[in-house]
Amino acid sequence: MGFKPGDCAAHSTFFKLTILFTLVIGGLIFFLVQRSRTQVLKTEDGWWGAGAPPNGGEDITIHAFKVTTSDDELKDLYRRIDQTRPVPSLEDSQFHYGFNSHYLQRVVSYWRNDFDWSRQVDKLNLYPHFKTNIEGIDIHYLHVKPKKVPEGTTTIPLIMVHGWPGSFYEFYGLIPLLTEPSDPGDLVFEVVCPSIPGYGFSEAPHKKGFDSVCAARVFHKLMKRLGFQQFYAHGGDWGWLVTTNMAQLEPKTVKGLHVNFAPPSKPGLPMALSIMLGHRFPKLFDFTDFDIQRLFPAMEKLVVESVKESGYMHIQATKPDSVGRALNDSPVGLATYILEKFSTWTSRDFRSLEDGGLTRKFSLNDLLTNVMIYWTSGCIISSMRFYKENFGKGLNQPHSKIPVYVPTGFACFPNELIHTPKLWVKQKYRKLLTFTTMARGGHFAAMEEPLLMAEDIQNFTKIVEKKKK
């Protein structure tokens, strides 16, 4: 068939339409990408104090704070411990029914007769504590500056946020490794550790609705009040979500985000495909042998494990004040409820041990110090309400839809409650610079493995700082 005169014009028109179509599609993709890159989480100032906001401006004064105790406080504690009513555990039950009552008696005996709260108060006060009022409530925080800064070195500001049932005390072994590093090649950090409102010595909100986004906004205000225009953030458990929200609210303020907990927030197509096909084609999804081991047990086992370890969350996300009132009255009940988590969440295998493996990774002094922070501040109910405020609004919140474009580092500890492979982490954290498979450690990683955590924070921050330069 020969060439026809109209063919040239037709080909030219088709070519132009193809280019136009490509430009339109390319422009649309570019627009969507840019839109997602510039999308930030929106929030509005709140007032969480009792009653209506005052007519005058906000009090921005910063006050020094010290943890204290008294004879009356200890007498009341001992009286309540002495009046506890022991209940025997079932034979051969270990920690499968919760905290083993036989071992609990040993813990309670140590708490009553050997634990020195006054000495632990002195330990708590080794670092400087402060309080300042933000949005109507007093915010407690540690602000630890390095004692010696090498000449020509600039300190790196870092905010570290805890979770439940932890506290700022989780970071006591980690702080000196960051502020006074032994390696001269390491970065020197200036650390701020706040207590989430309603936890520890931070005042509890007096009104409904205080969720992770509100905490993120309050902590941004705290860092600005301390003079930091940019800083790094680290978090685990609730601290993961609070610091993630901080990165979503002000991505230019948070220079880098480091987390050791990142459960999938919004399943997408890559995650769905990886669940369906990952077991057969692991390399296609960058799955390691450990990923396969954690993600693909028998479905029955997966469901049973989820039910075993999520009962507390159902209670706290629905009716926290009911069980909270009992825990607020009974120190032994409070210790049982909190310490059981430090057993099972450190390693599920500890459920089969008579002592729950508690002192394999932690000392009783440290564990009871964390319990005492909850007891002396009377914060267990307000800490549990944080679940109600976050889950009560549904799972499809604005922050769950917004990716994080702040440089991110993820420390993947093998005994974490929820395993999140690299592919899944990258769905949320689009600038994932480091993904470290840690040698050991569980949910309370900063307290359990401070050396490993410090090393990973150092390595991640060095990469970000090098890129910035």
Q: Look up 186 and say whether it is catalytic.
A: no
- Which residue in 291, 337, 443, 456 is the catalytic one? 443
Beta carbons within 8 Å of 286's beta carbon, 6+ residues apart? 421, 422, 423
Q: If you ran DSSP here, which 8-state letter would residue 57 be given?
A: P
What is the chain's length?
469
CA distance 374 to 341: 14
Q: Which residues pair with 55 in a beta bridge?
A: none
- Which residue in 387, 399, 429, 456 is the catalytic one? 387
Beta carbons within 8 Å of 355's beta carbon, 6+ residues apart? 100, 103, 106
CA distance 456 to 469: 20
User: Side-chain half-sphere of 301: how many Cα atoms within 13 Å?
Assistant: 7
Beta carbons within 8 Å of 415's beta carbon, 6+ residues apart? 346, 347, 348, 440, 441, 442, 443
Q: Look up 289 and say whether it is catalytic.
A: no
For residue 165, say if its preceding peptide bond is cis, omega within 30 degrees of 0.
Answer: yes
CA distance 355 to 253: 45
- Which residue in 162, 232, 234, 237 is the catalytic one? 237
Cα distances from 35 to residues 185, 304, 339, 403, 432, in angstroms, run: 39, 41, 45, 11, 19
Q: Which residues pair with 194 in a beta bridge?
A: 141
Q: Look up 443 and say whether it is catalytic.
A: yes
Active site residues: 237, 387, 443
